[in-house]
Amino acid sequence: MEPVVLMERLSKDSSVKSFDDVGNQLQYFEVETDRMIQRVTELMQIRAMVDNAIAQYTGDAHYELLQNQEVKGFKLKKGRITRKIVSQEKATQVMNQHGFDNDKLFETKLIGIPALEKLLHTTNMSKEDVSEVVDSFVQSTQGEYKTVIA
């Protein structure tokens, strides 16, 4: 804060009677600011230690869970499943056989899996049939296990 602004604020304070009072107030603010900075620094150090301890503990728990050992308070959660088309040619051929021209299948590349499924649904195929058709050219992989609090 600018000294002039601070002095104006302090001069409005009834406890400030002289420049000595202003100086005392400034010293008080400096000391308090230093204390706050010191306390925040201490808290940040404590937080880093807690974060490291949590990371170590959850890492150990994750390893044990992967070894099929039970860890109280933790469990493994499956990661996100990702799907990708393994053969663009086969996907195009199968979708063409179901009456879709390439101009509906391609933007600058083959449209995504959900869009292909949506196209197949427009033919009044059952959900199971759509899955069967799509599974003929899509590979699904399970994401990695993640350790979560039970």
Q: What span, in angstroms and rounded, lies between the C-alpha atoms of 97 and 105?
A: 12
What mean pLDDT is reported for the chain?
A: 84
Domain hosting 131: range is: 74-149
Provide the greatest CA pair distance for the chain. 93
Q: What span, in angstroms and rounded, lies between the C-alpha atoms of 110 and 125?
A: 21
Are residue 90 and residue 55 in the same domain, yes or no? no
Are residue 39 and residue 103 in the same domain, yes or no? no
> Which residue, of 66, 93, 108, is where some domain finishes?
66
Are residue 100 and residue 45 in the same domain, yes or no? no
Number of domains in the chain: 2
Collapsing DSSP to helix, strand or coil, 7 comes out as helix
Place of tokens 């799907």: 83
pLDDT in tens, 21-76: 666 666 767 777 888 888 888 888 898 899 888 888 888 999 999 999 999 998 99
Q: What span, in angstroms and rounded, lies between the C-alpha atoms of 43 and 49?
A: 10
Q: What span, in angstroms and rounded, lies between the C-alpha atoms of 122 and 101?
A: 14
